[in-house]
Every structure is written in C-alpha cells, then in structure tokens.
C-alpha cells in the first residue's frame, strides 16, 4: 500500500476533534453574547494518578480555549467518600457550573457508583448516571458518554447514514461498549456486542461492516479479523514497551495489518482519543442550553 492510499484509509480523529472544538467555541460565543450565559465545567480530581493529572490539565486547558469557565477541584488521595459527595453536592447547587466530571478511577475507599449517583443528571456531562443511561437506552434526549459519542461522530462523518449496517462492538463496559451499542441501535445498525465469553470472535469481527474495538488488550484484533471494506474504530489505549527503556501507545487493533483490509481505520494515538475531550466540551454546551431552556446552537 503506498502512502497516498494509506492516508486515504486513516480516519483522522485529531483533525475532526479540532473542528468540533472550533464549533463548540463558536456556540459558546453565540450563547454568551445572546444570553449572557458562560458555560462552566467543573472537573474533580482525587489523588495523584499521573495519567489522570494529564487528562485533567488537558480538559481544563481546552475548556478555557473554547471560551468556557473551567473549575478545577483537587482532593488528596486520602479523601473520604463523604468529602467527595459533599463537593459534588456543592457543584450541583452552583449555578455557574453546568457540567461536572469526576475523574476516574477513584481511590479504593470511595465507591464510584455512589459518586456517579450523586451527580445531578442534568450536569452529568460524562453521561454515566443511570438516568442518562436509561434515557439513551429508551431513545430519549440524554447526555451521552463522550468516547462512544466521539466514535459515532467519526463514523457518521466517514459513512453518512449508518442505517442497516452490521456493527460489532467488542467490549461491554458501561462507559464505552454498552453506550456505543445503544448509539448504533439508535442509528439503525444491526448490532452485535462481543465480550470475553463470545465464541468465534474472529468470525464475528469479520462479518462486521463497522467494527468498534474497546477491550484494552494491545493489538488483539488481528488483520484477518477485519472484513474487507470494513470501517474500524479503535478505542483502545494501551501502553507497551517500545524497547530502549521507552514505551508507546497502541490500540486494541493491529493497525498495520488491519489497514490492508479496512476501508477506514482510526489510528492510536490520533483517532478516538482526541474526540473524547471535544465531546466533553460539546456535552457541556448541550447541558448549559438545556439548563437555561436555550435553543441548541445550529451547527453543534
């Protein structure tokens, strides 16, 4: 495969995310000018997890770049569940905060479910609250988890109407696999959800016209598992040894082998990853509009 043909197969999530962030910035500016409302996103980090610190810093920077207010709250690793719940309740009551994100994972003494349950569903820009999961599953207006929302946007940008396409979602987590499957059902795909108990995984994958990999296993999906002409969205972010004492990120799909079969494929990094924060900003604008009863900006 030559360079031009290879480039044509790559779905550039980084470029799409930059365009989405620009549209979010325009929407923020329009809302602020017309209604005097500045969307605000509060991000809560508990502890010192280095990866989480990087995510939180990037989220805060991109929030400010989009013209929104960014509120950062840090609690020590030793914080109790009660302390975190009290902070969430304060943010729920704060009119300047339209979106709340509590960075996961949390220290062992804090139950994630208790914290997610405490977030006002109207401000739940991660879309993890059972109310939002239920609204999505019943086809009503929900705040949708950012990573699967980003995958759907990339698919629609690449393929247009998805109706009737055979989709396989590999992984059934609450934050990626399940909401991804719901979004694809809503888009009228024929959806299969595969997981660690699935029989004949290569065969299931090969039948799919859309293949979403969200397993967290480096390069598990092999080239010959990908049907010819399929569109592959690789959600996986896995750090592997690159030799020389260095490490690098790879996806759940063997990219170099799969690109020979797929019509389109997201790279790692530069595919789904950048879409997640862009969709978080998008969700914060949606949440702001709904909380203030404002019309949704046209091109969001």
Ligand X SMILES: NC(=O)c1ccc[n+]([C@@H]2O[C@H](COP(=O)([O-])OP(=O)(O)OC[C@H]3O[C@@H](n4cnc5c(N)ncnc54)[C@H](OP(=O)(O)O)[C@@H]3O)[C@@H](O)[C@H]2O)c1
Q: Give residues in contact with ligand X (CB under 6 A).
A: 147, 171-173, 175-177, 195-198, 201, 214-217, 235-238, 272-273, 276
- 220, exposed or middle or buried, with CB in 10 Å at 0-12, 13-18, 19+? middle
CA distance 172 to 87: 30
> Angle formed by the axes of helices 177-186 and 130-137, to 10°?
30
Q: Does the active-site annotation cover 59?
A: yes
**Measured from the CB of residue 227, what is the shortest distance to ligand X in angstroms?**
18
Report the length, in residues, of the chain.
300
Closest to ligand X by CB, 61 vs 195, is 195
Closest to ligand X by CB, 121 vs 171, is 171
CB 213 within 8 A of CB 226: no
CA distance 169 to 193: 5
**Measured from the CB of residue 274, what is the shortest distance to ligand X in angstroms?**
8
- With tokens 């949390």, the residue in question is 106
Closest to ligand X by CB, 136 vs 214, is 214
Closest to ligand X by CB, 115 vs 272, is 272
Q: Does the active-site annotation cover 291?
A: no
User: Which distant-in-sequence residues (6+ apart) come within 8 Å of 148 by Cβ?
Assistant: 176, 179, 180, 183
Tokens coding 62: 């991109």
Closest to ligand X by CB, 52 vs 198, is 198
From the candidates 62, 103, 178, 252, give the one annotated as an active-site residue. 103
Q: Which residues of 45-72 are buried (b: 16+ CB within 10 A; e: fewer)?
A: bbbebeebeebbeebbebbeebbbbbbe
**Measured from the CB of residue 215, what is the shortest distance to ligand X in angstroms?**
4
Tokens coding 188: 């009228």
From the candidates 126, 234, 252, 254, give the one annotated as an active-site residue. 126
**Measured from the CB of residue 12, what is the shortest distance to ligand X in angstroms?**
15
**Measured from the CB of residue 290, what is the shortest distance to ligand X in angstroms?**
24
Q: Does the active-site annotation cover 103?
A: yes
Cβ neighbour number for residue 265 with a 10 Å cutoff: 25
**Catalytic residue set:** 59, 103, 126
């Amino acid at each position: 495969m030559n360079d031009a043909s290879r480039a044509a197969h790559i779905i550039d999530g980084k470029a799409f995310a930059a365009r989405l962030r620009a549209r979010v910035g325009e929407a923020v500016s329009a809302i602020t000018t017309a209604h005097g409302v500045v969307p605000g996103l509060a991000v809560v980090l508990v502890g010192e997890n280095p990866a989480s610190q990087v995510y939180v810093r990037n989220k805060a920077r991109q929030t400010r770049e989009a013209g929104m207010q960014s509120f950062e709250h840090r609690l020590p690793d030793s914080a109790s569940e009660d302390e975190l719940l009290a902070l969430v309740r304060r943010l729920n009551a704060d009119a300047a905060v339209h979106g709340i994100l509590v960075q996961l994972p949390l220290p062992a003494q804090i139950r994630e479910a208790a914290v997610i349950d405490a977030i006002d569903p109207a401000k739940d820009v991660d879309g993890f609250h059972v109310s939002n999961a239920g609204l999505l599953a019943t086809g009503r207006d929900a705040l949708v988890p950012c990573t699967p929302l980003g995958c759907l946007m990339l698919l629609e940008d690449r393929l247009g109407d998805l109706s009737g396409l055979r989709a396989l979602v590999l992984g059934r987590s609450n934050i990626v696999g399940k909401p991804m499957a719901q979004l694809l059902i809503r888009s009228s795909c024929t959806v299969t959800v595969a997981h660690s108990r699935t029989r004949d995984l290569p065969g299931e994958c090969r039948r799919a016209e859309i293949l979403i990999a969200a397993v967290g296993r480096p390069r598990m999906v092999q080239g010959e598992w990908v049907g010819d002409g399929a569109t592959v969205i690789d959600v996986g972010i896995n750090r592997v040894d690159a030799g020389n004492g260095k490490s690098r990120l790879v996806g759940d799909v063997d990219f170099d082998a799969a690109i020979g079969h797929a019509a389109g494929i997201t790279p790692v990094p530069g595919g789904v990853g950048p879409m997640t924060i862009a969709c978080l900003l998008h969700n914060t604008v949606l949440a702001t509009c709904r909380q203030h009863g404002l019309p949704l900006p046209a091109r969001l």
